[in-house]
Amino acid sequence: MGREERLDVAILGGGMAGGLLARHLARTLPGLRIALFEASAQRGYRLGESLVEIASHYLVKRLGLGNYLYENHFPKNGLRFFFDREDRGGGLAELSEIGSDSLPFHPAFQIDRDRLDRDLLTMAEQAGTAVQIGAKVVDVELGTRGPGDADHRISVERGGRVESVRARWIADASGRTRILAKRLGLRSPETSHAISAAWGRFEGVADIDDVAESAGVADFRERVRHTARRLSTIHFMYRGYWIWMIPLRGGVTSIGVVGEGARVEGCRDAGSFLDFLLTHTALASLLRDAKPIDFGRFRKLSYSTQRFLSADRYGLVGEAGSFSDPLYSPGSDFIALENDFLVDLVRRDLDAGDAESVVERAQLYDQFLRNRHDSVMALYRDLYPTLGSFAITGLKWDLDIASYYNLWVSPYMRDQHLDAGFLRRQNQHQPYIQRALHGFAELFRTLDRELTDGGRYCEDNLGNYRDGREALSFLHEVGRQRTQKELLKQTLEIFEGVRRNALKTLGRGDALGEAPRSLASYMSGAPLL
């Protein structure tokens, strides 16, 4: 690539976010001059193996990767949660479980990140993107917007030489390197959700169903109609932390722990991490023959950005912009939204040259992403102490999964997030959404206090099974056209169901005779108990 070559779009980073964006641009706007710069010549193991429904829909529908995902990765058998005794001594088959007995109605996937990232770059090259591996971005000089607007200039070091290229648009997909956020002073630290993570890949992890069956528990498979639990994203839930297990191709399993800092602090290397895992009886039964392949850790997982997208022709996608929390795997959902928005801005700028449209859309999209980040964070802040209780997490799961499908997945499947009117309404409603989320968060904290004080926090953690789809009676309507009245009616049913079940859990049967609340009361910030 020669000096001062001019690009339509420069993508900084060749991980999942950058690779997906390159494919999206090439499919939507063929003929664009695109280059992707990836600093690392050695592709290492990266997190982000769990795709949930929005991201999966994006890869299948928008990017045409359905056959590829089924042939090269695993279909996800939903999310599955197990709950233990307080002393972590419960046997695997004893643990209470929230799960399902079939693959999800709307597909999701477990992905091998190393394979996916490499394949996406190959696809990008085949589609005409100039993929530059071992090309480190050492400087970015942003251009100007307006009459006589100037391109951005990017300095790239490769093989000991520094070259300069110009680009009309820059997409920062550099992950936690966060090139543009650092360059522009956009970093926004998360001060009220101090979580850390440690993880590794393992060979020789036993199949969860086989272990329970070998222990003589005949109905362990039967209660899920012999569906393969191993294909689920499996969570072992404890007060203040949780542990994931995700299957990868080739007999490899990704295992990690996420929690409040002190819970994870002792996991400093592969050996101490394995020692920590083995203090959990159920996990120890799965890891008897396991061998660690690698190890990694992050402190201060969560952070955000003051801006995701700008009419000044740049965008931050994936972890270059923000990261909330690994629980529920929202990271790839953000990539789907960010890439959709960024591609639309590039299209409007290059096809129509309508500067006013780009400015208006960039503001709408950016505000929506910042609001979505705030809403996602409300699912986690100060709630990690509640996670180890089957009773509390069951209620929280009902609220979170039903609201996710009703309010986020369904509109995404219908491309409503690309409709300006929809976005304006969503942005206007954000204060009410936050009040409802905070009201339920306080409800779960109240449950934590009262169940703990009464010695009931772990009361239901052994011997129980419930279908995690109980709150999803409307599942087959997700993605279909619904009126605003129907959507709000479903929202109220979700809220009322969770609140009433919380009252039952607390033994407040007298309150169940009260008249149902209005949706406005949930959005007002009024106490729920």
SS3 137: strand
Q: Which pLDDT score is estimated for 171?
A: 99
Bridge-based pairing state of the strands 195-203 and 296-298: antiparallel
Give me the residue spans of the domains in the chain.
6-45+113-186+304-353, 74-110+194-298, 379-523
E strands along 223-313, which residues?
Answer: 233-238, 241-248, 252-260, 291-292, 296-298, 303-305, 309-310
Q: Which pLDDT score is estimated for 147?
A: 63
Q: Which pLDDT score is estimated for 4?
A: 76
SS3 390: helix
Q: Which pLDDT score is estimated for 509?
A: 74
Confidence of residue 41 (pLDDT cuts 50, 70, 90): confident
Q: Which pLDDT score is estimated for 379?
A: 98
CA angle 198, 201, 206 (to 5 degrees): 115
What's the rounded mean pLDDT across residues 171-199?
96
Candidate CATH numbers 3.40.50.1370, 3.30.9.100, 1.10.10.10, 2.30.30.40; the one for domain 74-110+194-298: 3.30.9.100
Whose tokens are 């100060």? That residue is: 382
pLDDT at 331 over 90: yes
What's the rounded mean pLDDT across residues 119-131?
98
Q: Which pLDDT score is estimated for 513?
A: 75
Q: Are 76 and 99 in contact (CB under 8 A)?
A: no
Which candidate, 255, 4, 299, 1, places its Cα nearest to that of 133?
Answer: 1
pLDDT at 148 over 70: no
Tokens of 338: 């960010």
> What angle, rounded to 10 degrees, do the helices at 390-403 and 484-505 form?
180
pLDDT in tens, 362-382: 999 999 999 999 999 999 999
pLDDT at 248 over 80: yes
CA angle 63, 64, 70 (to 5 degrees): 120
pLDDT at 2 over 70: no
CB atoms within 10 A of CB 142: 18
What's the rounded mean pLDDT across residues 264-286?
96
Candidate CATH numbers 3.40.50.1000, 3.30.70.330, 3.50.50.60, 3.40.50.2300; the one for domain 6-45+113-186+304-353: 3.50.50.60
Whose tokens are 């005794």? That residue is: 85
Distance (Å, whole) CA 77 – CA 110 = 9
Q: Is 18 left (phi over 0), alpha (psi -120 to 50) or beta?
A: alpha
Average pLDDT, the chain: 95
Helix, strand counts (H, E) of the chain: 17, 22
Q: Which pLDDT score is estimated for 353?
A: 67
Confidence of residue 45 (pLDDT cuts 50, 70, 90): confident
SS3 346: helix
What's the rounded mean pLDDT across residues 420-428?
97
CA angle 256, 260, 263 (to 5 degrees): 65
Q: Are 108 and 75 in contact (CB under 8 A)?
A: yes
Q: Is 167 left (phi over 0), alpha (psi -120 to 50) or beta?
A: beta
pLDDT at 430 over 60: yes
pLDDT at 85 over 70: yes
Tokens of 188: 């926004």
Percent of the chain whose predicted confidence (pLDDT) is above 90 = 90
Q: Which of 66-70, 121-125, 260-264 has the lowest mean pLDDT?
A: 260-264
Q: Which pLDDT score is estimated for 1?
A: 46
pLDDT at 404 over 60: yes
Percent of the chain whose predicted confidence (pLDDT) is above 70 = 98
Handedness of CA 347, 369, 34, 6 (dihedral sign): positive
pLDDT in tens, 440-452: 999 999 999 999 9
Q: What is the 3-state secondary structure (H, E, C) of 262-318?
A: HHHCCCCCHHHHHHHHHCCHHHHHHCCCCEECCCEEECCCCEEECCCEECCCEEECH
Residue 64 Cα to chain centre, angstroms: 21
